[in-house]
């Protein structure tokens, strides 16, 4: 199955650039770091620990050239998996937190993207628990680059400490500027988090697995064809689901909720997009025809390609 899946044309819609930095690339960035130090910096056992590992990697990204390198390495790997199109989430919020000049970083990643066989667009992500003023700053960066490679704004981070309801006005401003609206929701917080994301206009939901707990929400997603970006390995590794067998991907699919499969932070979760398709087949009984449907979904629900 894995060989067939690898050559299947796919799009990647839930993929964090900073979470894609493999150990070999970390050594390129920081040759002084040994294997034990890298393992210690990127290890975690729960969602809180994952966020700390994500910050650890981000702190290694100090210059536009660093961002260019990790973009190049990511797109090389996506090409090998026959990923034709990718909407890569770039944590503009983290660059602001690090007091870096976003313009030069974006120029660097855009240049690398222009050299790749993968058609790339960007989702600028804000750190929701930093509050509305921070998200507004990220919105300004996204609006300035609407039509220049940026297709959406998103919010990530801690759902409970940064509820989507804080950001309604900001999302309306982004929509008026021609941007699409994305939100992580229903990953570690319950269905109410997804309802809030929908209330501020989110067109795609990152994760959304806790939606299964609310039949009315499941029906709303099905009726409105709001897709959930399902990252199975991520959800297991962060503890969002207790066990692989407990993951609701099959139940959500059978309920008619539109789904796409993805990796989230593939280096930190040690997964690949082809591997997620294969896992869906092996663990949850997805047939070849169903996997082909999920691959078609990844293009249909893209913000920059027919989206």
Which whole number is the average pLDDT over 118-139?
Answer: 98
Q: Return the bridge partners of 207, or none.
A: 185
Which of the four pLDDT bands, split at 50, 70 and 90, describes residue 2? confident
Residue that has been written with the tokens 């290694």 in this structure: 60
Superfamily per CATH, domain 2-20+64-300: Metal-dependent hydrolases (3.20.20.140)
CB atoms within 10 A of CB 227: 21
Reported as a single tens digit per residue, the pLDDT across 212-244 is 999 999 999 999 999 999 999 999 999 999 999
Residue 306 has pLDDT above 60, yes or no: no
Reported as a single tens digit per residue, the pLDDT across 97-114 is 999 999 999 999 999 999
The chain-wide mean pLDDT, for the chain, equals 96
Reported as a single tens digit per residue, the pLDDT across 21-44 is 999 999 999 999 999 999 999 999
Nearest-angstrom CA–CA distance, 307 and 298: 10
Reported as a single tens digit per residue, the pLDDT across 129-184 is 999 999 999 999 999 999 999 999 999 999 999 999 999 999 999 999 999 999 99
- Burial label, 141 (beta-carbon count in 10 A; 0-12, 13-18, 19+): buried
Catalytic residue numbers read 187
Nearest-angstrom CA–CA distance, 139 and 177: 10
* Residue 305 DSSP label: S
Say what the pLDDT of residue 3 is. Answer: 84
Global pTM? 0.96
């Amino acid at each position: 199955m894995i060989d067939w899946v690898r050559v299947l044309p796919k799009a990647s819609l839930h993929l964090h650039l900073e979470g894609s930095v493999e150990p070999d690339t970390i050594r390129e960035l920081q040759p002084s770091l040994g294997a034990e130090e890298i393992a210690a910096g990127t290890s975690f056992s729960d969602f809180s620990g994952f966020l700390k590992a994500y910050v650890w990697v981000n702190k290694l990204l100090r210059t536009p050239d660093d961002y260019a390198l990790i973009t190049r390495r990511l797109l090389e790997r996506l090409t090998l998996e026959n990923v034709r199109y990718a909407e890569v989430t770039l944590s503009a919020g983290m660059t602001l937190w690090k007091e870096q000049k976003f313009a030069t970083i974006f120029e660097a990643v855009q240049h690398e993207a222009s050299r790749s066989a993968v058609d790339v667009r960007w989702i600028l992500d804000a750190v929701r628990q930093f509050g509305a003023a921070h998200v507004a700053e990220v919105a300004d960066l996204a609006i300035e680059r609407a039509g220049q490679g940026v297709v959406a704004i998103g919010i990530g981070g801690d759902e409970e400490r940064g509820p989507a309801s804080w950001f309604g006005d900001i999302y309306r401003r982004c929509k008026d500027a021609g941007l699409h609206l994305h939100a992580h929701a229903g990953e570690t917080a319950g269905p109410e988090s997804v309802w809030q994301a929908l209330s501020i206009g989110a067109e795609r939901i990152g994760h959304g697995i806790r939606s299964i707990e609310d039949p009315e929400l499941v029906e709303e997603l099905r009726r409105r064809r709001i897709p959930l970006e399902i990252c199975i390995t991520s959800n297991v590794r962060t503890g969002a689901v207790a066990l692989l067998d407990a993951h609701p991907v099959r139940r959500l699919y059978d309920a008619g909720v539109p789904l796409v499969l993805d990796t989230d932070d593939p280096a930190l979760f040690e997964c690949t997009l082809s591997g997620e398709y294969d896992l869906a087949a092996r663990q949850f009984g997805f047939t070849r025809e169903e996997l082909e449907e999920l691959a078609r979904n990844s293009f249909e629900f893209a913000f920059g390609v027919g989206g």
